[in-house]
Amino acid sequence: MDKYDIIIIGAGPGGLTAGIYAGRQGTKNLIIDRDLAGGIGREVPEMENYPGFDNISGLELIEKMKAQATKNTELHEMENVTEIIKNDGEYRFTVKTDKDEYQTKSIILATGSSHRHLEAKGEEEFLGKGVSYCATCDGFFFQGRDIVMVGGGNSALQEALYLNNLGANVTLIHRRDEFRAQKHLQDQIKEAGISTIMNATVEEIKGEMLVESVTLKNTKTGKLSELPINGVFISVGYVPHTELAKQLNVKLDDSGHIIIDKDQKTNVDYVYAIGDVCVGLKQWIVACGEGAVAATSAFHDIS
């Protein structure tokens, strides 16, 4: 059974950064991800706030980070961690996957999150038939077609702009009377002439073989209305992946995120957490900073 100083579970921006820092400290490390490196970060169409790049896609930045990380640490993609067992002795944890088993002195949880669903009628039925959670994956198929983007945060507005630039006819739908996104994104939405429907929720997604319309509910009056469209893109937040954290009895807050201290330590000794699975600001650069802190904390604790 292979043994490591640090095993990082998750190869998003935070996990890859942790791998870079861990490797440069001279420890033996492994990053494991159940998918391809980058996770939902691969879906980001454009970033304009990552230092050093005026504009870069999530996929492009992930590939650069992956290339740098693999010079410093071992990376296993498409390998799912199924169980973590606590041990006595120096190698405190056994990490079981669908392919192998490993022992490690410490663990960094970088398990990320997945797209939150609307829980609207028809949402699951029309997934892949007009319902999508990834503009960069599916936007090309909606050029010249009428679509809605549901959400009011940075990601929703970024993807609305991306879809508009592809040539889709985009309408933004948000349940509140103002967006939560950064002002410059809101300004870009106005400049692009993208339509908005505020104070509305999607109650039902309808169609025969493909999406044909959505039923909207006004959050103030309760009135229902029908909007003919060809596609529904959804960006209403994320659900943290805490299954492994729960196995280890790591403490979570009321929203289900991992509670960490300034050193990225959880309540369980030698278990650290970073990125979207944690309490805090959900930003790429924050996850990277947390990855650097966690790797350094782990190094000092096991040295």
The yes-or-no answer on residue 278 being catalytic is: no
The yes-or-no answer on residue 138 being catalytic is: yes
The yes-or-no answer on residue 288 being catalytic is: no
Cα–Cα distance for residue pair 133/103, rounded to 1 Å: 36
Cα–Cα distance for residue pair 172/194, rounded to 1 Å: 7
Choosing from 138, 276, 278, 288, the catalytic residue is: 138
Compute and round to an integer the Cα radius of gyration of the chain.
21
Cα–Cα distance for residue pair 140/117, rounded to 1 Å: 22
Choosing from 2, 98, 100, 137, the catalytic residue is: 137
Residues catalogued as catalytic: 134, 137-138
